[in-house]
Amino acid sequence: MGAGLRRGAEARRQAWSLLAIFLSTITGLVLEPLPVGAWAFLGLTVAVATKVLTFQAAFGAFTSDVIWLIVISFFFAKGFVKTGLGDRVANVFVAALGKSTLGLSYGLVGAEALIAPAMPSTTARAGGVFLPIITSLAAQAGSAPGPTSGRLGAFLVQAQLQCAAHSSALFLTAAAQNLLSLKLATEVTGVALASPWLLWAKAASLPALASLALTPLLVFKLLPPTLTDTPEAPAAARARLAAMGPPSREEKLMVGTMGLAVSLWVFGDAIGVSSVLAAMIALCSLLLSGVLVWADCLQERAAWDTLVWFAVLVGMSGQLSALGLVKVLSDAVAAALAAAHLGWPAVALAMNGAYFALHYIFASQTAHVGALLAASCAVMVTAGVPPVLATLSLAFTTNLFGGITHYSSGQAAVYYGAGFTDLATTFRVGAICGLANLAIWLGVGVPWWRCIGLF
């Protein structure tokens, strides 16, 4: 019995020590005293050096299938930018819908929603495809950062940023944080989702499409452009398409390969092909066909940096759960909620609201996921929230706060850096759109999720 008590005390010491290291790592990811990958590796080294984690436990998450799926996703984004396929898709939509300012926005938003499942980096979509097009369209309309930004540029930038939240939430593979959210939540709930790509798309479809339809209108009211007609935009887009010429061999191969990847993500479970294996097959196809070369992958620094710090967060989070600390904390919060006599719907609403509001202290969606999602999900499940609903609602919410500040996500930093909106405007539009996001997803999503049997 004495030995058992000693082992219990040692496990508790180990758990609380790991929590301290984990929180220090998260704090460093937010404040960035070092690049995020370097800081995460430092945290991992401290955990091994103090014997809080063994070497095997510390590096176990580096073999996670989700981590490697995220890394490979960056290579797909590189393929879209390198071949010019992303530019072509966006210009096709502008040519079709760009006669008015609002139509121009819907064209750009529709293009992003279309390519999102096969280009899973929101930052790459923003910086590599859509910001260059928006900047070009704004320049043609006489709108530049500064006094003339309100003519067109400010509206297009904010509409694209706010709609990116819904494009990212629409498909499991549309954003790296979606995969991480699902991984961490599954570890907590122990519930593996059957056909996760299809279930995610089904659950997100109605609220995401409603949001994509309403958000440009909301931004148009909040930040009305002085130029409301853009008759020259379709002609300019057609000119860019003409200059690009017919689709190249590389673009066609990119389309075919991404079609194969998405097909395997949708139907792979039925034939025994996992999501990560589907991504590996698609990447090998791009390498064998010459669309990408290995040097492209090696030069994709963000992918390898993400491998390190995502793996560190996932590993530490998993160990905290294995040591029982997440359960202890979630039980305490759940007990406090039970004492308040809240039913599980009220708990789900409160936890998602708190999870959303806390993003103001985070400079990364993925850092936020690593710090709070597992514990939030555990509290919800302990309080009686159906595990699948808890998992998906938090994962969706992770996307919805991507545009609330200029530092809330990679794409927010990209669009703010273009200089079309000032800080006060960014916070004002971000706060209003963030609340609208929650209202639309609750108002449309909750009845829809009940219809499809999530609760």
Instruction: Provide the pLDDT for residue 8.
Output: 53
Distance between CA atoms of residues 417 and 405, nearest Å: 12
Question: Which residue, among 30, 50, 54, has the nearest Cα to 40 in the 3D structure?
Answer: 30
Instruction: Provide the pLDDT for residue 11.
Output: 64
Tell me the three-class secondary structure of 162-205, residue by residue: HHHHHHHHHCHHHCHHHHHHHHHHHHHHCCCCCCHHHHHHHHHH
CA angle 85, 87, 91 (to 5 degrees): 120
Question: Which residues 6+ apart lie within 8 Å of 52 measured at CB?
Answer: 14, 17, 18, 21, 46
Residue ranges in the chain whose pLDDT is less than 50: 1-2, 4-5
Q: Are 59 and 65 in contact (CB under 8 A)?
A: no
Distance between CA atoms of residues 358 and 276, nearest Å: 31
Instruction: Provide the pLDDT for residue 2.
Output: 47
Torsion angle of C-alpha atoms 416, 420, 425, 428, degrees rounded to 10: -50
Instruction: Provide the pLDDT for residue 88.
Output: 85
The DSSP code for 54 is: -
Instruction: Provide the pLDDT for residue 4.
Output: 47
Instruction: Provide the pLDDT for residue 86.
Output: 74
Instruction: Provide the pLDDT for residue 5.
Output: 43
Distance between CA atoms of residues 367 and 184, nearest Å: 12
pTM above 0.85, yes or no: no
52: phi then psi, degrees, rounded to nearest 5: -70, -35
Burial track 398-411 (b if 16+ CB lie within 10 A, e otherwise): bbbbbbbbbbbbbb
Instruction: Provide the pLDDT for residue 9.
Output: 61
Distance between CA atoms of residues 166 and 113, nearest Å: 8
Sort 154 into a burial class: Cβ within 10 Å, 0-12 / 13-18 / 19+: buried
Instruction: Provide the pLDDT for residue 208.
Output: 97
**Amino acid identity for residue 91 in this structure:** N
Please state the separation of Cα 318 from the chain's center in Å: 20
100: phi then psi, degrees, rounded to nearest 5: -120, 165
